[in-house]
Amino acid sequence: MGGSVYFLFMSPFVLTGLVTQTGGSHFQPVLSGPSRAYLRSRVQFHCEVPGWTSPLTYELRKDDGYLIATEVNTTVTFSLKVTEGSKGKYYCRLTTGGQSNTVHLQVVIPVQGASLSSEPDPPVIYEGERLVLRCLVSRGTHLSFMWYHNRQEVTSSPSELYRLSENTLTVDRAGEQHAGIYSCTAQNQMDVNTRYSSSRNLEVIVKKFISSPRLTFTVLCDGSDLLANISCGVERGSPPLTFLLLLDGVEIQEKQVSSLNAWFLQPVSVRGNMGAARCKAKTEIHQLMSDPVNLEVVPVGGVVQVMVTHLYDADGGVTAARLRCVPATGTFPAFSWSLNHTSLPAEGDSHALAQHGQILIITHITAVTAGFYRCAVRDSFNHNSSWVESSGIHIQKTAGFRVVPMEIMALVFCGFLSMVIAGGTFCLLWNSSGGIEKHHSNHEVHQTETIIDSGLPGADVCLETQTIEMKTLVVEFEV
Ligand SMILES: *[C@@H]1O[C@H](CO)[C@@H](O)[C@H](O)[C@H]1NC(C)=O
Ligand SMILES: *[C@@H]1O[C@H](CO)[C@@H](O)[C@H](O)[C@H]1NC(C)=O
Ligand SMILES: *[C@@H]1O[C@H](CO)[C@@H](O)[C@H](O)[C@H]1NC(C)=O
Ligand SMILES: *[C@@H]1O[C@H](CO)[C@@H](O)[C@H](O)[C@H]1NC(C)=O
């Protein structure tokens, strides 16, 4: 029996606090004490024989029997100063025989000087790249680590944004959400008197990939010279960016900017095609090219046309109109509108301008706003150039009509179809021979899209009108 209990005592499961019999002695001392202690602190080990009330001589021993101290009392307390060498297995013994359980003491070095290191360093990465942050300490053992991203504690689950292990935080594929301020806190793993050390903040920058740049240009007058102000910009990306301007494939200007766009001035001449301009947006790791744009400045000229779209109220009466001004040529036109030869201000109670003045919307056609509308065009970059005016178009309010939805749908479809097939031929012929016509033979069908010009229309402008405006075909009835 005694032998098997002795065997149990030797097994590590019963080392903590079990009173055992050794060598037939009646006294089984019990040792209690901390399992961890800070370096240079004091620890106390208590030894006693439970239930024994007379003084005994206790020895505190360590590891393979090294005697540390001897005390005589019924229960004894050994107080030790913790040094680097204090680590080990402690037990107490009675001089009369009898040995206690073992207490394994670990020496903990208080944490100090936490800092963050990053890979790469500095922590500036592109989307999809890997980031590793390490929490380093200048001193300290038995540590655990806490991570903070934008002051929120980072936990590895449930999101799989980060991987945490030991003192390392890893991001395998960085995204925008990983950018921000990081810090870590290291702490000693102690039950009481836990010590902490926190790192400074480290800003992680996650750069976005750039999108394809877009090139546009405007023209401005510098004395008597014409300059193209060429803008190159990306929708997406992270500054700083480098933009290059290429003319016919040759790099001619370069700018580094802390924004998503840059502009370049380049001399141009009216009518001369200065070549194809492209721009390149560049970062440390990649570059993208814009589509080419011809640096062409065509002056305003030819016939000026006004295209009208009538807008109807619920009863089918014309109550509003949209007028679009189209010069035959001109890449940088400026527009001006007049009613009965009185120029219209940019804003009014019953009209509004859109697309840099190219479109005039008459919101209420009344006695005051009805009349002859004209638009005039000139080069926006040359204030000396003369205005080219369209002919006047008469805008007036018309009475409403009763809507027959089925037939309107049929007519709209017919109109659209015949436009597609016959290139703009009215489908009145089909309509007048069809059965639908029987009850409404006095209908007139109008395209609301009317082209009015002051002379011969420019072929390209007409074509554009038909293809674009056909989609807004509306049919008007008069009963
Ligand atoms: C024994 O311990 C008690 C308190 O634990 C103390 O008062 C007493 O002085 C000690 N006796 C000796 C001989 O050290
Ligand atoms: C406009 O006219 C003024 C004088 O009339 C002249 O000095 C200026 O160069 C002209 N500008 C352009 C762009 O032609
Ligand atoms: C050129 O255009 C940009 C906007 O695209 C503007 O910010 C800049 O001031 C313009 N430059 C000149 C000289 O007008
Ligand atoms: C413009 O002139 C037309 C025809 O002369 C006239 O009917 C209309 O009332 C005038 N409109 C304005 C606002 O003066």
- In angstroms, what is the span from residue 58 Cα to ligand 1's centroid? 13
CATH code of the domain covering residue 365: 2.60.40.10
Asked whether residue 430 carries a pLDDT value surpassing 90, the answer given is: no
Phi, psi at residue 462, to the nearest 5°? -60, -50
- The residue whose CA is least distant from atom 5 of ligand 3 is 231
- Average pLDDT (372-387) is 93
Phi, psi at residue 432, to the nearest 5°? -70, -25
Q: For residue 157, is it within any domain?
A: yes
- The residue whose CA is least distant from atom 5 of ligand 2 is 384
Tell which atom from ligand 3 comes closest to the C-alpha of 220. Answer: 14
DSSP letter for 360, please: E
Helix (H, G, I), strand (E, B) or coil at 212: coil
- The residue whose CA is least distant from atom 10 of ligand 2 is 384
Same domain, 196 and 132: yes
2-16 pLDDT, tens per residue? 334 333 333 333 333
- The residue whose CA is least distant from atom 5 of ligand 4 is 371
Q: For residue 440, is it within any domain?
A: yes
Given 374, 395, 416, the domain boundary residue is 395
455 versus 119: the higher-pLDDT residue is 119
Tell which atom from ligand 3 comes closest to the C-alpha of 229. Answer: 1
**Nearest-ligand number for the alpha carbon of 219:** 3
Confidence of residue 77 (pLDDT cuts 50, 70, 90): very high
**Nearest-ligand number for the alpha carbon of 48:** 1
Same domain, 315 and 383: yes
- In angstroms, what is the span from residue 55 Cα to ligand 1's centroid? 9
- Average pLDDT (211-239) is 93
Same domain, 100 and 168: no
Contact 138, 113 (CB under 8 A): yes
pLDDT of residue 40: 94
pLDDT of residue 156: 67
Tell which atom from ligand 2 comes closest to the C-alpha of 385. Answer: 14
Asked whether residue 469 carries a pLDDT value surpassing 80, the answer given is: no
Residues in the chain: 479
Same domain, 321 and 373: yes
pLDDT of residue 15: 36
- In angstroms, what is the span from residue 47 Cα to ligand 1's centroid? 13
Same domain, 122 and 86: no
pLDDT of residue 97: 87
Same domain, 223 and 202: no
Asked whether residue 446 carries a pLDDT value surpassing 70, the answer given is: no
Given 207, 223, 255, the domain boundary residue is 207
Mean predicted lDDT score pLDDT of the chain = 81
The owner of tokens 């929490």 is 135
Asked whether residue 215 carries a pLDDT value surpassing 70, the answer given is: yes
Tell me, using a 6 A CB cutoff, whether residue 370 lines ligand 4: yes
User: For the chain, what is the domain count?
Assistant: 5
Tell me, using a 6 A CB cutoff, whether residue 73 lines ligand 1: yes
Q: For residue 63, is it within any domain?
A: yes
Same domain, 313 and 282: no
**Nearest-ligand number for the alpha carbon of 259:** 3
Q: For residue 400, is it within any domain?
A: no
Asked whether residue 164 carries a pLDDT value surpassing 80, the answer given is: yes
Whole-angstrom Cα distance, residue 16 to residue 30? 9
428 versus 162: the higher-pLDDT residue is 162
- Average pLDDT (157-180) is 88
**Region of poorest pLDDT, from 222-231, 333-342, 354-363:** 222-231
Q: What distance, in Å, lies between the first and last C-alpha atoms of the chain?
A: 120
Return the H-helix or E-strand segment holding 256. Answer: strand 250-257
Tell me, using a 6 A CB cutoff, whether residue 424 lines ligand 4: no
- The residue whose CA is least distant from atom 11 of ligand 1 is 73
Q: Give the domain range for residue 439.
A: 405-476
- In angstroms, what is the span from residue 370 Cα to ligand 4's centroid? 6
Count of Cβ atoms closer than 10 Å to residue 353 Cβ: 18
- Average pLDDT (66-71) is 94
Confidence of residue 106 (pLDDT cuts 50, 70, 90): very high
- Average pLDDT (317-332) is 92
Tell me, using a 6 A CB cutoff, whether residue 348 lines ligand 4: no
Same domain, 137 and 88: no
Return the H-helix or E-strand segment holding 415. Answer: helix 405-422
pLDDT of residue 138: 97
pLDDT of residue 455: 36
pLDDT of residue 346: 86
Tell which atom from ligand 1 comes closest to the C-alpha of 71. Answer: 14
pLDDT of residue 401: 54
CA angle at 285 for the pair 251 and 247, rounded to the nearest 5°:
15
Helix (H, G, I), strand (E, B) or coil at 46: strand
Given 364, 395, 426, the domain boundary residue is 395
pLDDT over 90 for what percent of the chain?
Answer: 63
* Close Cβ partners of 292 (under 8 Å, ≥ 6 residues apart): 215, 276, 277, 278
Whole-angstrom Cα distance, residue 421 to residue 89? 100
Tell me, using a 6 A CB cutoff, whether residue 340 lines ligand 4: yes
The residue type found at 6 is: Y
Contact 197, 113 (CB under 8 A): yes
pLDDT of residue 13: 36
Return the H-helix or E-strand segment holding 300. Answer: none
pTM over 0.75, yes/no: no
**For residue 50, cis peptide bond before it (omega within 30 degrees of 0):** no
Same domain, 88 and 11: yes
Tell me, using a 6 A CB cutoff, whether residue 472 lines ligand 4: no
Same domain, 218 and 274: yes
Whole-angstrom Cα distance, residue 68 to residue 90? 10
Helices (H) and strands (E) in the chain, counts: 4, 38
Same domain, 103 and 134: no
The residue type found at 371 is: G
**Nearest-ligand number for the alpha carbon of 341:** 4
pLDDT over 70 for what percent of the chain?
Answer: 77
